[in-house]
Amino acid sequence: MLLFWWWALGDPCAWTGKGRGTRRMSPATSGTFLLTGEVSNDPITFNTNLMGYPDRPGWLRYIQRTPYSDGVLYGSPTAENVGKPTIIEITAYNRRTFETARHNLIINIMSAEEFPLPYQAEFFIKNMNVEEMLASEVLGDFLGAVKNVWQPERLNAINITSALDRGGRVPLPINDMKEGVYVMVGADVAFSSCLREVENPQNQLRCSQEMEPVITCDKKFRTQFYIDWCKISLVDKTKQVSTYQEVVRGEGILPDGGEYKPPSDSLKSRDYYTDFLVTLAVPSAVALVLFLILAYIMCCRREGVEKRNMQTPDIQLVHHSSIQKSTKELRDMSKNREIAWPLSTLPVFHPVTGEIIPPLHTDNYDSTNMPLMQTQQNLPHQTQIPQQQTTGKWYP
């Protein structure tokens, strides 16, 4: 288990060149390490990164509200970082004079397994920001209040996290509202009855209804810290059991086939010529057979026109022939409009004498101006039938 630490960046105006500072993480000590220099009101911006890398380690966080406020490095390293020195490059930039200064911070991480803290409680403080909570006097006051409630032999802060890192929302800039901070502390004794009151069914019901639970020891924190007791988390690592479960083999799980045996390096070559011929020959043979069958049906099984005419009645053939002739004549007319009128549209015999009437016009006659229906006066070969005189006076 590793305890959290923090480091405040002060005024770097007195820095010259590259300085070096060492911070050893000890589970028994925690506090603020300030770089002090000449008093100045210049806006200073700090940039931090792991030496040789563009960013900080994943467990290390940095916050600076404004160029006129101090920057704070804080975090809780993991067990993988134990025994590995971590060098943090800190670059300060003066936004008024454009001067820069660099400082290397060496962090030696040690394990705290010899000081086990199996009982851990995480509090959510609503009226604090993370940089305010990291101040040594504020954190000392909070640990003192927790110690009065818990009464442990050893009590240390394990981790401090801003509510924004837990998915919280930025508060409105009214009434000096705070974003909130999560503080996890660890102790070597079991939780007190006051802390256990959060787990009561009555308090759980009030929390589900978004009401404040009734905690007897809340007054010891209320003077300086507003704690959201519905978000408190109690972890007892002495009762944690392993989550490993034996795999029960059943449907969907393949049996164990032993170790994987890769194929040997000396593989025999394979001839794909036969496969290639089979792949092409079989579809080609099927296509050829289908082509021959279709050719036989289309060419060798035709009955012909003569056989069809022999089996068709004469009257049907005459009717069909007349339709073909009329169709051909109409098609010829559509190609040339100055040909003679079709004989089918002219009278064949004279209505009185019965003689054959010749065509009304020659081949070079313009038929485009001829009316579709001719009156009796327009017929040149029409015979005038005398009309009977009616009795009575006739006027010339």
Q: How far apart are CA 214 and CA 204, in angstroms?
A: 10
287: pLDDT strictly greater than 80 = yes
Question: Please, is 241 exposed, middle or buried when counting C-beta atoms within 10 Å of its C-beta (0-12, 13-18, 19+)?
Answer: exposed
* Beta strand spans in the chain (E): 5-9, 18-24, 44-50, 60-63, 71-75, 86-94, 100-108, 119-125, 155-162, 181-187, 233-236
DSSP string over 189-213: SPPPHHHHGGGSHHHHHHHHTT---
Give per-residue pLDDT as tens, 68-126.
888 888 888 888 888 888 899 999 999 999 999 999 988 888 877 777 888 999 999 99
Residues 319-337 as b or e (16 or more Cβ within 10 Å = b): eeeeeeeeeeeeeeeeeee
181: pLDDT strictly greater than 80 = yes
Between these two residues, 343 and 259, which has the higher pLDDT value? 259
Q: 211 near 153, Cβ under 8 Å?
A: no
Q: How far apart are CA 34 and CA 9, in angstroms?
A: 6
Superfamily covering domain 5-108: Cadherins (2.60.40.60)
Q: CB 6: neighbour CB atoms within 10 A? A: 23
Find the range with the poorest average confidence among 56-65, 175-184, 197-206, 375-384.
375-384
Domains 5-108 and 119-236 share a fold: no
Give per-residue pLDDT as tens, 46-73.
999 999 999 898 888 888 888 988 888 8
Given CATH 3.40.50, say whether it is the number of domain 119-236.
Answer: no
Residue corresponding to tokens 């003192």: 144
Mean pLDDT of 322-331: 89
The structural domains of the chain, with segments of one domain joined by +, span 5-108, 119-236
